[in-house]
Amino acid sequence: MNLRKSINHLPDLKMLIGCVCLFIFCFSSPLFSQDKFTIHLNLGVAYYHQGKYERSEEEFKKAIQLNPESFEAHYNLSLVYLVQKKFSLAEEELLKCLNLNPDYPKIHFQLGNIYFYQKLYPKAVAEYKKELSRNPSHTPSLYNLAKVFQIQRDFGEAEKILRKLQSISPDFPGVYKDLGQVCYQQGKKSEACKFFQKAIEKNPTDTDPYLYLGKIYQEEKNYQKAEKVILKALEINPDSFYVRLELGYLYLEIEKYSLALIHLKKATQINPDDPLAHYYLGYTFSQMGKLDEAIAQYSLILNKKEKFEDTFYRLGNLYYEKKDYKKALSFYLKEIEVNPRNTAALFNLANVYFKKGKLDEAESVLKKLLEITPDDPLAHSLLGDIYMKKNMYDRAIEEYGKAEGGGKE
């Protein structure tokens, strides 16, 4: 069973959102000036660099009161608002800056950042493009523009922009990793591998490229190479949740359950709130026949989230194995409520009804299943069993025939 089928377990969003380039430009007025405006401006800069953003904000506001037309004060205040995530106020100050000095570089870049952080991606794109129209080689705008397209899953456009960035600035942080990601998302695994290897060469301590390479090798069934590269990531950062998760999944896939257990348990210790580690751990316990431990892991997920993937279905399976058909029935029904097209859950639900002698309910569920997958031989076979129990022999023969022929008449 491929647990990755419905889960993109690698932390794509973590990699994307955490990497936005935010370049802070703070001006400094001439030192030793007794001018009150200059003193407030310099105090604002000093407090900013100390991380005392509220004090910094106060000083820049005082400077603006003394000189409302000061581009420098409005611009610095916008950056203070931006770092505090006061986006509407930051936007307001930057628009004032545009009126005061429309040709000043990087204003559109900063506006793009404001819209990016608010997930107003079309507006962010427009601002980054305005910045690039003035300065086609502005690498932070290129990088952030590519990030927007990655988030919007326009990987071809993201790749085009990242390749331009790489040609302008081959050493720009993260460019090779991002190129690897967008190539991987487009199915260009060979190119992706080259970029991830280049990313490792540029930054050997970043574990993300190792994990992507491990993922590619696993998909190619080259488990030895996958293990080697992920173990290298583990050597770099043994306390990484994602490294432990990847290694646990690898051992789960190659059925080395005791090793999977070690790393998945460590992952849940590092980040107890992430449901995916508990999900994989639950599956590992189930494969080892430790049903109660598996139930405990899936139950932890449901305590934190109303639903997560097919957790209800897996709990149904575990209670079915324990012959607790009442609880199995309850979880299968919950699974179908949130995912009506889960055919495995539909079949198992029908099977529970059949075992409990509820033939009409079992028949009804199987008919729903066959609307989704008309050629399901197991569904037709179970329908045949139901009709045998009902002494409806002609219909039983018909269903058994469909089962034998793969569901086709």
What is the CATH classification number for the domain harbouring 79? 1.25.40.10
pLDDT at 214 over 80: yes
Average pLDDT (234-248) is 97
Q: Is residue 200 part of a domain?
A: no
Torsion of CA 30, 34, 39, 45, to 10 degrees: 30
Average pLDDT (267-273) is 96
Answer for the pair 293, 315: CB distance below 8 angstroms, yes or no: no
Q: Which of 26-30, 48-52, 125-129 has the lowest mean pLDDT?
A: 26-30
Answer for the pair 158, 138: CB distance below 8 angstroms, yes or no: no
Amino acid code (one letter) for 290: K
pLDDT at 20 over 50: no
Torsion sign, CA atoms 275, 281, 284, 288: negative
pLDDT band at 179 (very low <50, low <70, confident <90, very high): very high
Q: What are phi and psi of 106, to 5 degrees?
A: 80, 0
Q: Is residue 98 part of a domain?
A: yes
pLDDT at 6 over 50: no
**Residue 27: what pLDDT?**
45
The overall pTM is greater than 0.85: no
**Residue 25: what pLDDT?**
43
Q: Is residue 90 part of a domain?
A: yes
Average pLDDT (83-108) is 93
Name the residue with tokens 């989230």: 305
Q: Which range marks the domain in which residue 91 is found? A: 35-104
Q: Is residue 401 part of a domain?
A: no
Proportion of the chain above pLDDT 90, given as a percent: 88
**Residue 406: what pLDDT?**
59
pLDDT band at 4 (very low <50, low <70, confident <90, very high): very low
pLDDT at 7 over 80: no
SS (H, E, C) the chain: CCHHHHCCCCCHHHHHHCCCCCCCCCCCCCCCCCCHHHHHHHHHHHHHHCCCHHHHHHHHHHHHHHCCCCHHHHHHHHHHHHHCCCHHHHHHHHHHHHHHCCCCCCHHHHHHHHHHHCCCHHHHHHHHHHHHHHCCCCHHHHHHHHHHHHHCCCHHHHHHHHHHHHHHCCCCCCHHHHHHHHHHHCCCHHHHHHHHHHHHHHCCCCCHHHHHHHHHHHHCCCHHHHHHHHHHHHHHCCCCHHHHHHHHHHHHHCCCHHHHHHHHHHHHHHCCCCHHHHHHHHHHHHHCCCHHHHHHHHHHHHHHCCCCCCHHHHHHHHHHHCCCHHHHHHHHHHHHHHCCCCHHHHHHHHHHHHHCCCHHHHHHHHHHHHHHCCCCHHHHHHHHHHHHHCCCHHHHHHHHHHHHCCCCC
pLDDT at 26 over 50: no
Q: Which of 31-35, 37-41, 85-89, 369-373 has the lowest mean pLDDT?
A: 31-35
**Residue 14: what pLDDT?**
32
pLDDT band at 137 (very low <50, low <70, confident <90, very high): very high
Nearest Cα to Cα of residue 123 among 138, 133, 132, 113:
113
Integer-rounded Cα radius of gyration of the chain: 29
pLDDT at 207 over 80: yes
Q: Is residue 63 part of a domain?
A: yes
**Residue 359: what pLDDT?**
97
**Mean pLDDT across the chain, nearest whole number?**
90
**Residue 34: what pLDDT?**
55
pLDDT band at 384 (very low <50, low <70, confident <90, very high): very high
**Residue 307: what pLDDT?**
86
- Which one is predicted more confidently, 406 or 172? 172
Q: How many domains does the chain have?
A: 1
Q: Is residue 299 part of a domain?
A: no
Q: Is residue 231 part of a domain?
A: no
**Residue 306: what pLDDT?**
81
**Residue 32: what pLDDT?**
42
